[in-house]
Amino acid sequence: MRVAVYYNNSDVRLEELPKPQIGQGELLLRIEASGICGSDVMEWYRIKKAPLVLGHEIAGEIIEVGKDVKRYKKGDRVSASHHVPCNTCHYCLTDRHTVCDTLRSTNFDPGGFAEFVRLPAINVDRGVYPLPNEVSYEEGTFIEPVACVLRAQRIARLRPGQSVLVVGSGMTGLLQIYLARAFGAGRIMATDISQYRLDTDLRFGAEAVIHAGEDVPGKVRELNCGRLADVVFVCTGAVSAIHQALDSVERGGTVLLFAPTDPGVKIPLDVTEMFFRNGVTLTSSYAGSPADHMTAVELLRSGTLNVRDMITHRLPLAETGKGFKLVADAKESMKVIIEPQK
């Protein structure tokens, strides 16, 4: 079968691998659509594991069913989670599924930028999501990123009417804006260095946008009746963006880090001023729980989220390298979808 093998962000090669053979409790999925995630182009993290086949935002059709699989059949349209939790450890039982050891050790074979993917039995047991008729394959690739954003907004305890600032409004930042608007947030503001992204933010629910080179806290106060933002989502690993977020949060507010920095980065904090005097909560979020994925499916089925208009590029498997460059350059692209059967 054909696969797109990642060597680095500028070197993604079309190669051949044997079609995976499934075992008991497993499924073989023909991949119809696979989204490129911002984490796929996080080179400092990916390159040490290269060469490898990436791709975790997938949707496709089941073409082979292993022995003892009862819930799924050949021909079913599904999405799936590449990382799945055990659901029984201390972390899972306290709603911290994404720090579960099992979640950190599970994956697809080989990855979503391939014609076919084997879903291991543990993924079949707790990480497969049937696609409703209303949800296309390309929309199905949004289930995983929407689940991640749902979890982030739950951790941030975002409530209707609260003001929101999204710092770094690429694809995940755009989803933060869109879901915050869907759930009734108050004034939603966004900042980025790219005018293309800022213009897109306005289309998907931001009331106001601020270029990152401006006085962002000052502009937030100006736009938000003299107050800073109740909740700030930081969707970039840039250190300057984190400082900007910390300067832009209201007393009693929350700053949630949604993207990692480069390794070893340390941020100095005025503990007394920020935490004791101003009561700011600083937290983070990674991935999504199985429940978040199921909620994402329903949001897409109901039409609450019009993610189709976020897709800027649809590319065949042979052009996966072009897709990686589009996402890494972060200029005039939002969601880039790879279609492995083309």
Confidence of residue 187 (pLDDT cuts 50, 70, 90): very high
Find all residues with CB under 8 Å of 71, minimum gap 6, and list them. Answer: 128
Retrieve residue 212's tokens: 């990152």
End-to-end CA distance of the chain: 13
Confidence of residue 314 (pLDDT cuts 50, 70, 90): very high
Question: Are 296 and 127 a contacting pair, CB within 8 Å?
Answer: no
Retrieve residue 235's tokens: 């969707």
Domains of the chain: 2-147+287-339 (3.90.180.10), 157-284 (3.40.50.720)
SS3 of 252, please? strand
CA distance 330 to 179: 22
Q: What is the pLDDT of residue 211?
A: 96
CA distance 239 to 225: 27
Average confidence (pLDDT) over 158-179: 96
Average confidence (pLDDT) over 142-156: 97
Q: What is the pLDDT of residue 145?
A: 97
CA distance 155 to 284: 8
Beta-carbon-side half-sphere exposure of residue 177 (alpha carbons within 13 Å): 32
Retrieve residue 340's tokens: 């492995």
What confidence tens digit (pLDDT) does each residue in 72-106 have? 999 999 999 999 999 999 999 999 999 999 999 99
Instruction: Pick the closest to residue 274 from 244, 251, 241 (CA basis).
Output: 251
CA distance 12 to 114: 12
Residue 81 identity (one-letter amino acid): S
How many residues are given for the chain?
A: 342
Q: What is the pLDDT of residue 233?
A: 98
Q: What is the pLDDT of residue 201?
A: 96
Retrieve residue 54's tokens: 């990436």
Residue 129 identity (one-letter amino acid): Y
Instruction: Pick the closest to residue 149 from 112, 116, 183, 189 (CA basis).
Output: 183
Partners of 11 in beta bridges: 8
What confidence tens digit (pLDDT) does each residue in 268-311 have? 999 999 999 999 999 999 999 999 999 999 999 999 999 999 99
